[in-house]
């Protein structure tokens, strides 16, 4: 399964240049290498199918965006957001694009990941089972 999943992301990929896609992949590699503390903490929980047997990838290019964590099998994206995302509407366009491509997007706060990892894992487990938050 490739990183770019739905019809909208595939359309975007078709419109992008090889150089643009290569730079996008390099940016994803850089983000993996320079993960935040919260991203590293959550990745320890997500990797190796530890949550409900779901395979997550980190820093996944999808269309023009890079998702923090994605389970492509069930089209679930988990974003770990800091205070720069607190402004209302800051992620609206991005989330709308991903949802139009068939993904469900969970936005979790860095503080929650750092202070309540068990609660964060429970939220992700419910999302994997498609239960309401």
pLDDT in tens, 36-92: 899 999 999 999 999 999 999 999 988 888 899 999 999 999 999 876 545 556 688
Flag whether 41 is in a domain: yes
Number of domains in the chain: 1
Q: What is the DSSP letter of 6?
A: S
pLDDT tens digit sequence for 89-102: 668 888 999 999 99
pLDDT at 23 over 70: no
Flag whether 81 is in a domain: yes
Flag whether 64 is in a domain: yes
Flag whether 58 is in a domain: yes
CATH number at residue 118: 3.40.960.10
pLDDT at 12 over 50: no
Flag whether 90 is in a domain: yes
Nearest Cα residue to 109 out of 37, 29, 53? 37
Domain assignment of residue 124, given as a range: 7-128
Half-sphere exposure of 46 (CA within 13 A, CB side): 25
Flag whether 38 is in a domain: yes
Flag whether 109 is in a domain: yes
């Amino acid at each position: 399964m490739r990183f770019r999943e739905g019809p909208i992301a595939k359309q975007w990929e078709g419109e992008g240049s090889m150089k643009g896609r290569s730079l996008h992949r390099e940016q994803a590699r850089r983000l993996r290498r320079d993960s935040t503390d919260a991203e590293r903490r959550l990745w320890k929980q997500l990797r190796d199918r530890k949550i409900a047997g779901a395979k997550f990838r980190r820093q996944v290019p999808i269309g023009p965006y890079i998702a923090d964590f994605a389970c492509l099998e069930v089209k679930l994206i988990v974003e770990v957001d800091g205070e720069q995302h607190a402004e209302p509407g800051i992620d609206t366009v991005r989330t709308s694009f991903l949802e139009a491509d068939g993904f469900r997007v969970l936005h979790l706060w860095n503080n929650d990941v750092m202070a309540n990892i068990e609660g964060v894992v429970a939220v992700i487990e419910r999302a994997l089972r498609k239960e309401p938050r």
